[in-house]
Structure 1
């Protein structure tokens, strides 16, 4: 086996095998929303990746490439990265849907200007979007979605061992289909509140036409904010059900993606 020699003796092959197995797991954790957040230390992700790789090596036989600098080895590493990113990106799509819904609701309520730094991504996010993201994270952890997802990542080594063929086109189509499903879920989340806001805006427009002397902005903005808050409170049970269905659908899509 053509491997660099670091003078570690008999354990050197096992260490290289551990590093090779960690590629897919590390890419999946980096692309996943909960494990790949910026507020999660890199050391924690490395420890989790190494621990899962040890379990994988105990359950699944892994064969190291003969030449680490060969084209086949480079392609195998790239394939491992693609598999890991796919498993994490499907989960990431589920966590983007509430943010899309929150942006639509915030725009109708006039709260799009209320933004803050999202600690998970480091970018600007609306206050309502952060609330929805936190709710989905709590629901996802409460139903054990993180454990199911990690189990699917480990199971992928039995279905697609390192070096196995991975149909990028077919898996990409599965990811695209789930993206459309996530957008449909975002519409379902935002629809009840946006309908109430639309009704408030229609009523405000009729009042402004009937009494032009009234200040439309002084009347419409507080009415939209109050109506939006009331609609969010009334639709809270529906939002929870949508978040549970979204988390379960994400796990099902990951399970579909790892099927041979």
Structure 2
């Protein structure tokens, strides 16, 4: 019975992390696979973490409270990494607006809904980079290391968790703008130039001339900045997975 209790508590936190963590918790990944991965991970780490699990409480209410707290800790960690994934949607949306592709939408399997086509492309590329760089393993290691930061049975650090998630949101928005910044600058200069031409030569249908140029210019700039932007984002996600903070 004690081993069953320890395994159940470990599964609550590990399963919650893998349910939301990038790579593991994508909506396109079958639920059975995610459940199997969480169970296998629990069996693998149980021998080293059994001593961290408190004994079975005397009443049911304490047991339920402990289980809920473990799930919330796992959700907090997984949600922070998932929030950082939204930086790519922000960057893709801004690039799409700046390059004239704001209305081009595509189904995004990472969020389960449609999104800007450039954001979808960046998100799918990021999933490949996560597995190539081993960030998915870092997320699992972070779940194990979290038992040194958040001891089972101790009060939940609500204030620290709120600051943690707020920092992840701020970092995600900042990263998205940083990735799209070169395209924003080029689009600003281009639009000012087009406005000046339209004022000087009002007879020219400048919109039909400018739109193809704007699209090609935006895509061209994106090809140069995409590699560096994704590497900066991947480094930030890796530091978060190593529990070094979202910033």
Root-mean-square deviation (CA, aligned residues, Å) is 2.0
Task: Name the CA distance, whole Å, in 1 between partners of 2:23 and 2:177.
Answer: 23
Tell me the distance in 2 between the aligned counterparts of 1:209 and 1:126: 32
- Structure 2-normalised TM-score? 0.90
Structure 1: give runs of 5+ residues left out of the alignment: 1-11
Q: Match for 1:236 among 211, 226, 235?
A: 226
Distance 2:130 2:142 in 1: 15
Shift of 1:49: 1.0
1:191 matches 2:201 = no
Give the superposition deviation at 1:193: 1.0
Question: Does structure 2 retain, via aligned residues, the 8 Å contact 1:23–1:81?
Answer: yes
SS at match of 2:106: strand
Structure 2 Cα separation of the partners of residues 89 and 102 of structure 1: 21
* Larger CA Rg, structure 1 vs 2: 1
Q: How does 1:149-168 map to 2 (within 5 A)?
A: 149-168=139-158
Matching residue of 2:60: 69
Gaps (5+ residues) in structure 2? none
Counterpart of 1:51 in structure 2 is 40
Shift of residue 255 of structure 1?
4.3
- Among 152, 160, 184, the alignment partner of 1:170 is 160
**Distance between the aligned counterparts of 1:240 and 1:213, measured in 2?**
43
Deviation by residue 1:108-164 (Cα, 9 ceiling, x = unmatched):
112111111112222111110011112222222222111111111012234434322
1:112 aligned residue (95, 102, 111): 102
Question: SS in structure 2 opposite 1:111?
Answer: coil
Does the C-alpha gap of structure 1 residues 42 and 67 become closer, same or farther in structure 2, counting only changes over 3 Å?
farther
CA distance in 1 between counterparts of 2:200 and 2:89 reads 37
Which residue of 54, 61, 79 corresponds with 2:69?
Answer: 79
Preserved contact between residue 179 and residue 225 of structure 2 (Cα < 8 Å): no
Shift of residue 249, structure 1, vs aligned partner: 3.5
Which is worse superposed, 101-110 or 135-144?
135-144
Q: d(CA) in 2 for partners of 1:122 and 1:212?
A: 45
